[in-house]
Structure 1
Amino acid sequence: MNRFSAAMTAVAAAALLTACASNDSKTAAPAAAAKTEAKGPATPVGGHGHNAFIGGYDANRDGVVTREEYDTLRKQRFVAADTNKDGWLSEAEYVAEFEGRLKAQYAAAGKKPDQQYEGSIKQAHVRFHILDTNKDGKLSIEEEIDIANKTFKNADRNGDGVVNAADMAGQ
């Protein structure tokens, strides 16, 4: 895998990890409830804590997020967000990608955008500025990789290389 491919993989993971790093597990359904025959994350947008992390990154819905699943999904999101294909995300691109997933989640639930939706969009703008660590107005591959690594490590509390129910032990 070349540096660009590796970087793109990591970039895709970073932007959303920050949103999932909190310890509040009440904001998403338990992973067991999300396990179905369908493919792809059960909870595509938002939420904090362990269950939201699993819901947002468990592509095969087996209750376990491997680093490969996590990196693959983050890469897909980064590439999708980079609409002008310049290799980095502007704030507008970052927020538009997030908003697209949020709209889909609301539509799937039969909900219309509300105050919580608006708050999530505002938070996406704040998150962009946190992720843009060198403050150049661009979310680079390197910045994405950095936050992806930190977020996965924080979620994998027992250090076994996957995020699952065992990471909740002792809470």
Structure 2
Amino acid sequence: MKHALATVLFAIAALPAAAASHSSTTFITEQDLNGDGRVLLDEFKLGRQVEFTRMDFNADGQLSEAEYLGEFEGRLMQRVGKMADPEKRKEELQRQMRQAKVRFGVLDADKNGSISLEEFQATGLRMFKLHDRNQDNGVDEVDIKLAEEERKAGKTGFVSP
């Protein structure tokens, strides 16, 4: 049991920090810590907690705007750094950083200038519930199929298959 937990925690630590995706397929790929093709609610919460701890550079239990934006900017630079056109790279960086600042304001639900673990978990849980279409506390292939059926029926939502 201890070995299995250590393996999962090691795998989590090796993952890049990522927000919960709007695509259920990507969500599973990014959040499936044990590689079983399904993201259980407890597994998701654990991943979010580890992600929060990794972002909390000064370990005070709160994400400051600088910590939140700095972590995001690091990931963003890796992605936009691959863009060939320097002007488009600059525009994308500026646009994404403006959006990140707005996201910080939304995540800071109590408007105290920082994001607590509870606030961080709450936003992730809202996204988890959107992906968990059959409400079984897990996101898997069944939820992807339900999302595809909704899309085919013309029901477009915030999250996609």
Shorter-normalised TM range:
0.5 to 0.7
Q: Which structure 2 residues correspond to residues 20-169 of structure 1 after superposition, within 5 A?
A: 45=18, 47-104=21-78, 106=79, 111-112=82-83, 114=89, 115-168=91-144, 169=146
Deviations 1:6-50 (A, max 9, x none): xxxxxxxxxxxxxxxxxxxxxxxxxxxxxxxxx569885465222
CA separation in 2, counterparts of 1:44 and 1:135?
24
Structure 2 contact 48–121 (Cα < 8 Å) conserved: no
Percent pairwise identity: 38
What do you get for the CA RMSD once the two structures are aligned? 2.8
Give the TM-score of the pair, scaled to structure 1.
0.62
Query: How many residues are treated as equivalent by the alignment?
Result: 130
What TM-score comes out, normalization by structure 2 length?
0.65
1:98 is matched by which residue type in structure 2?
Answer: F
Match of 1:14 in 2: none
Please report how far the alpha carbon of residue 140 of structure 1 lies from its aligned counterpart in structure 2 after TM superposition: 1.3
Gaps of 5+ in 2: 1-10, 151-161
Structure 1 residue runs without a partner (length 5+): 1-38
AA matched with 2:60: D
Contact 1:87–1:140 under 8 Å retained in 2 = yes
